[in-house]
Structure 1
């Protein structure tokens, strides 16, 4: 069986963010036959503007759309900023939603997980991210969730928490199983 390719988008640009660490854990925990790739150019995307979305679109946008087109599924790992989606992630959603009705992630399964400082672990941002991606075209898998309060990690890498590692491994496996 060919590998299932999963695009991983991280809503935090900070190199040592707990969400980046959660994405790294997902890559490490992927079952055999599942290849997760973190897309590291979200910070390079220009703000979405239909006037610049054409043949001469920025190389970072081309790279994002190519990565999404080549993926069988997507895993979004995001914090919550001021009760909502980080701007860099919302911008990526806007780029991926075009061309309208036929974006690169159309009908592909997508899951949203993450961690945040608040007591609810980013649940508002995760819900908003699911909603926005659902409108943009992917098939959001609603029951694959992890909204983890950062304090639950006690300053350690998520891989050092057996329960978190098992949950992430389970989510990645179930997301891969959603690929037709």
Structure 2
């Protein structure tokens, strides 16, 4: 089973990318987690660029979402909401109208933040946007609070409770795929 993991941050030392890398390391066979690293190459959404003018990076994103059995999104919270990079990525992947790459796709949303809220508001907004994009949202939200306290000296998430949550999320996605939700 293949899970496409999408970070909602472009930051080099993103806590949310660290979460996705932890999920990749934890994934039991036959689950394979593929972390998408091309969000920074996706141009701002412009409906005039749909169709024959769709950028190649967007076509690749859509193809990778469609090829995945499920999607795992990890994103921080900017000003109490979804990040611009993640919203832009979802907008492109859900277009053109009626052809969303997310349609029927099991998707889970997690998020880490230095705050005491753990990107909860961002996750709630992201879940709403994904529902509009025809995704099948599984579980969540899954806030990771004060994430800076959970990172070891090697830049890895090692907190047992967080790793347990990631295992649970992978199991939820696996069940959703198996049940063909």
Provide the TM-score with structure 1 as the length reference. Answer: 0.92
Deviations 1:102-145 (A, max 9, x none): 2112001101001012211110000000000110111111x233
Whether 1:27 aligns to 2:43 is no
Counterpart of 2:73 in 1: which secondary structure? strand
Shift in CA distance, 148/22, structure 1 to aligned 2, threshold 3 Å = same
Shift in CA distance, 59/161, structure 1 to aligned 2, threshold 3 Å = same
Deviation at 1:153, TM superposition (A): 2.9
Deviation at 1:158, TM superposition (A): 5.1
Structure 2 match to 1:119: 116
1:49 to 46, 59, 62: 46
Deviation at 1:17, TM superposition (A): 1.2
Structure 1 match to 2:143: 147
The structure with the greater share of residues assigned to strand is 1
Structure 2 match to 1:166: 164
Cα distance between partner residues in 1 of 2:10 and 2:77: 13
Counterpart of 2:165 in 1: which secondary structure? helix
Structure 1 match to 2:176: 178
Q: Residues 78 and 126 of structure 1 are in contact (CA less than 8 Å); yes or no, is this contact kept in structure 2?
A: yes
Deviation at 1:21, TM superposition (A): 0.4
Deviation at 1:170, TM superposition (A): 1.4
Moved more, 6-15 or 95-104: 95-104
Q: Residues 62 and 93 of structure 2 are in contact (CA less than 8 Å); yes or no, is this contact kept in structure 1?
A: yes
Q: Residues 118 and 149 of structure 1 are in contact (CA less than 8 Å); yes or no, is this contact kept in structure 2?
A: yes
Segments of 5+ residues of structure 2 without an aligned counterpart are none
Cα distance between partner residues in 2 of 1:24 and 1:151: 14
Cα distance between partner residues in 2 of 1:25 and 1:39: 14
Cα distance between partner residues in 2 of 1:68 and 1:154: 30
Instruction: Count matched residues.
Output: 176
Deviation at 1:151, TM superposition (A): 4.5
2:99 to 86, 91, 102: 102
Q: Residues 50 and 96 of structure 2 are in contact (CA less than 8 Å); yes or no, is this contact kept in structure 1?
A: no
